[in-house]
A and B are shown apart, each in its own frame.
Chain A
Amino acid sequence: MTASLEMLETSAPAIEGRSPFLLAFRRLRRDKVAMVSLVVIVLIVLMAVFAPLFATITGHPPNEQYRDIGLTPDGLPRGPNGTFWLGTDDLGRDVLVRIAYGARVSLLVGVAATAITVAVGIVLGLAAGFLGGVVDTILARLIDVVLSVPFLLVAIALVSVTGPSLSITVLVIGFFSWASVARIVRGQVLSLREREFVEAARSLGAGDTRIMFVDVLPNVLAPVIVYTTLLIPVVIVTQATLSFLGLGLPPPTADWGGMISASQNYYTTAWWFILFPGLALLITTLAFNLFGDGVRDAFDPRADRLR
């Protein structure tokens, strides 16, 4: 038998396979910007998780209004000082503590809405691309319709009807974002379903569902992961935008968009009130975007040659 000869072709000692994801991860680990961004993201996540710690250390609960020490007699916020490290807001609350609590909202909405978006987008994109025919026609038109809806206007109208809440924010964002994911997935699947390994699975007797999720899905994950990483900051900004427009979380819940919205009347008199929540939002979205860029580069097929 000639097989033994051929075994020598691969002399790599590693028995554990190097998955494309592993390879991408290795490339990602060498990307300094992405790694710094990741550290920042981790810090923000830690800040959100340990937000109560900020309240404990400063001694300022997030919703406590300090009218004597936190506000001027004319109701203006107080600047950064020994008591309020990042100053106070328009109700005399600690900006630092509220930024920490606001991170919870931003990340929760960012992750939850993105998860809904990606889940719905993948399922519908897979179904449209793989099943084709009437299913595809209907779903593709639906995708077009959803993508052409002026998101912010409808979101504003919808939230006006239902009233603002965390779940409605997540649902609204999810509902309007899945179409992009579905479109990406559909495009990928359209070419993937013609690949021989799909035919091979079929010849083995695999059904549509199995082929879709076992054979096709892993192959669309890379672009979806890239898109997802880049979607999270968009969702965070969208949530902040809705909050800014008064459609976010009901007060007194701290969230960055709401803080920025409240601070806009004070930009000449209380720079810290707009600066720090704005910076928090900026740094978070920047970190996610740079990290997303890194992920995209890591999954870029052109980078395959570097392996």
Chain B
Amino acid sequence: MTEALTQPVTQPVTQPLLRVRDVRKEFPTHGREVVRAVDGVSLEVRKGETLGLVGETGCGKSTLARCIAHLYDVTSGSVEFDGTELTGLSRRAMRPLRREIQMIFQDPYGSLNPRRRVGSIIGDPFAIHGISAGAERKRKVQDLMEVVGLNPEHYNRFPAEFSGGQRQRIGVARALALRPKLVICDEPVSALDVSIQAQIINLLADLQKEFDLTYVFISHDLSVVRHVSDRIAVMYLGKLVEVAPTEELFQQTRHPYTRALLSALPVADPDTADSREQIILAGDIPSATNPPQGCRFHTRCPKARATCAAAEPGLDPVLDDGPAHRTACFFPLTIGEDLSTAVPDLKAS
């Protein structure tokens, strides 16, 4: 499944800022088994774009994010950032690159140290990298607070004194402090009220323009991802199943899993409401310690056939799709195909 990735994709004008190749991440469990949280993922992110990464909880998208941010050492594969190979870098060698890649975390409560003042939290990147101190640092922090829409006078407050949305702004400010090139947003809004979600997403969008940021935007919520992303990658059980430019993914959905995710979206467009099918996936997501053979989705796929259990589909353009739209499925959906009536047939023919 790695073959297509070395080729230039849609817009060859921009070099990829991030190139992930066949990354695997395994965690040992108490037994002798391992959890394959990320099991061979390859993707690229170009400068200035936003790549949405969606999937159910536990599909490995957060693990992948931490592999990219070098919070985890990958088990195998390569992560290349702006031409530098990150895997195997020592902590010391990684330090300057930390400034380039930042993360915004899901939980605005857990990701801010409750015992430290906001000014100190946002100033942390400066302190760690020894960039500025004293009044200068304070000014910078307060500038940042202003940029993300916080009252700079609240510099001395503690996280507990802020609302969830404000806290996430603190997290954003901290991530932006060092003017990174790549920001990995790990479900940055999923813990927030819907009304606040939009504010944060708008903030992120504004900041992207202002600071020329590149985002990897992780969410389990396709509607959020759709709003911010240029391209979307759908992940299932440690693997990518479909990658496509945002609108194409929605219009020409190829993978049954993607379609299932889409069908779970709340009604956003009244015109399409009645035509939407409701696809309820059978069973639970299988265990990552012992993923299904063949196509990982075949145990839950309405269109599953014997082939799906026997072989693993590669992530390639299917049907008449262009190179930017790749799908890992033997039986991709055609436009307008009704999946709700499909019945799996795993008997060998």
Do A and B associate with each other?
yes
Q: Identify the A interface with B (CB < 8 A).
A: 1-7, 9-10, 12, 15-20, 195-197, 199-207, 210, 214-215, 218-219, 221
Known: A9-B163, A204-B125. A3 touches B115 (CB 8 A): no
Question: Which residue on B lies nearest to A208, using beta carbons?
Answer: B91
Q: Do B102 and A3 have beta carbons less than 8 Å apart?
A: no
Q: Which B residues lie within 8 Å of A6 (CB)?
A: 149, 163, 165-166, 169, 196, 199
Q: A6-B166, A197-B113 are in contact. Are A210 and B161 (CB under 8 A)?
A: no
Residue in A1, A16, A205, A214 whose beta carbon sits within 8 Å of that of B94 in the complex: A205
Q: Which of B91, B110, B115 is in CB contact (< 8 Å) with A221?
A: B115
Closest to A218 in B: B115
- Listed from nearest, the 4 A-B pairs whose CB atoms lie closest are A3-B149, A205-B98, A218-B115, A17-B157
Complex formed: what's the CA distance from A10 to B169 in Å?
14
Give B73-131 interface residues, CB cut-off 8 Å to A: 91, 94-95, 98-99, 101-103, 105-107, 110-118, 124-125, 128-129
- Chain B: minimal CB distance from A21 (Å): 8
Q: Shortest distance in angstroms between B88's beta carbon and chain A's nearest beta carbon?
A: 17
Instruction: Pick the contact of A196: B105, B151, B161, B199 (CB < 8 A).
Output: B105
Name, among A15, A202, A205, A214, the residue most crowded by chain B CB atoms within 10 Å (CB to CB). Answer: A205
Count contacts between A and B, CB distance < 8 Å. 123
Whether the pair B111, A16 counts as a contact (CB closer than 8 A) is no
The answer to whether residues A204 and B124 also contact, given A7-B149, A10-B163, A10-B166 and a CB cut-off of 8 A, is yes
Bound-state CA distance A206–B161 (Å) is: 25
Q: What residue of chain B has the Cβ atom nearest to residue A194's Cβ?
A: B110
Also in contact, A204 and B163, with CB within 8 A (given A6-B149, A218-B116): no
Q: Are B125 and A17 in contact (CB under 8 A)?
A: no
Q: Is the CB of B115 within 8 A of A199?
A: no
The answer to whether B154 has its CB under 8 Å from any CB of chain A is yes
Is the Cβ of A2 less than 8 Å from the Cβ of B128? no
**Could you tell me if A15 and B154 are in contact, using CB atoms closer than 8 angstroms?**
yes
Residue from A197, A199, A207 whose CB has the most chain B CB atoms within 10 Å = A197
- Select which of A3, A18, A20, A203 is within 8 A of B169 by beta carbon: A3
CB of A20 within 8 A of CB of B160, answer: yes
Inter-chain contacts of B155 with A (CB < 8 A): 15
Q: A10-B163, A203-B103 are known contacts. Are A195 and B110 too (CB-CB below 8 A)?
A: yes
Minimum Cβ distance to chain A for residue B287 (Å): 21
Are B113 and A17 in touch, CB under 8 angstroms? no
Chain A CB within 8 A of B203 CB: yes
Given contacts A6-B199, A9-B165, A205-B98, contact A17 B158 (CB under 8 A): yes
Taking a contact as CB atoms closer than 8 A, the residue among B101, B116, B117, B203 that contacts A3 in the complex is B203
Question: Residues of A contacting B128 with CB < 8 Å?
Answer: 201, 204-206, 210
Using Cβ atoms and an 8 Å threshold, which residues of chain A touch B106?
A: 196
15 contacts between A and B (CB under 8 A): A2-B199, A7-B151, A9-B165, A10-B161, A19-B115, A20-B160, A195-B110, A196-B105, A197-B112, A199-B66, A200-B103, A200-B171, A204-B128, A205-B95, A219-B113
Query: In the complex, which residue of chain A has the Cβ closest to the Cβ of B148?
Result: A3
Given the complex of chains A and B, what is the CA–CA distance between A15 and B206 in angstroms? 28
Knowing A1-B149, A17-B158, the reply to whether A203 touches B98 (Cβ < 8 A) is yes
Which of B129, B154, B169 is the most central at the interface, judged by chain A CB atoms within 10 Å of its CB?
B154
Given contacts A1-B149, A204-B98, is CB(A15)–CB(B161) below 8 Å?
no
Do A17 and B150 form a contact, CB below 8 Å, given A6-B163, A196-B110, A203-B102?
no
Known contacts A20-B114, A205-B99; decide if A10 and B69 are in contact (CB<8 Å). Answer: no
Q: Which of B69, B113, B114, B117 is most buried by chain A, counting CB atoms within 10 A of its CB?
A: B113
In this assembly, does B71 line the interface, its C-beta being within 8 Å of a C-beta of chain A? yes
Are the C-beta atoms of A18 and B203 separated by less than 8 Å?
no
Q: Contact mask B161-203 → A, CB, 8 Å, 1/0?
A: 1110110010100100010000000000000000010110011
User: By the criterion CB–CB under 8 Å, are B158 and A19 in contact?
Assistant: yes
Bound Cα distance from A201 to B110, whole angstroms: 12
B156 located at the interface, meaning its Cβ lies under 8 Å from any Cβ of chain A in the complex:
yes
Which residues of B lie under 8 Å from residue A199 when comparing CB positions? 66, 71, 103, 105, 111
Q: How far is the CA of A221 from the CA of B114 in the complex (A)?
A: 12
Chain A min CB distance to B30 (Å): 15
CA distance A210 to B206 in the complex (A): 33
A238 to chain B, nearest CB (A): 31
Complex interface: chain A residues within 8 A of B158 (CB)? 17-20
Contacts of B269 in A (CB 8 A): none
CA distance A258 to B166 in the complex (A): 59
Contact flag A20-B115 (CB < 8 Å), given A203-B71, A204-B98: yes
CA distance A210 to B8 in the complex (A): 42
Question: Beyond the given A204-B128, A206-B128, A214-B116, could you list 11 further A-B residue pairs with CB under 8 A, ordered by the A residue number?
Answer: A2-B149, A6-B149, A6-B163, A6-B196, A7-B149, A15-B153, A197-B112, A201-B124, A204-B124, A204-B178, A206-B124
* Interface-centre pick from B155, B158, B169, B202 (highest chain A CB count, 10 A): B158
Within the assembled complex, what's the spacing in Å between the Cα atoms of A3 and B166?
9
Please give the distance in Å from B97's CB to the nearest CB on chain A.
9
Taken residue by residue from 236 to 277, chain B's Cβ proximity to chain A (1 for < 8 Å, 0 otherwise) reads as 000000000000000000000000000000000000000000
Chain A residues closer than 8 Å to B166, beta-carbon distance:
6-7, 9-10
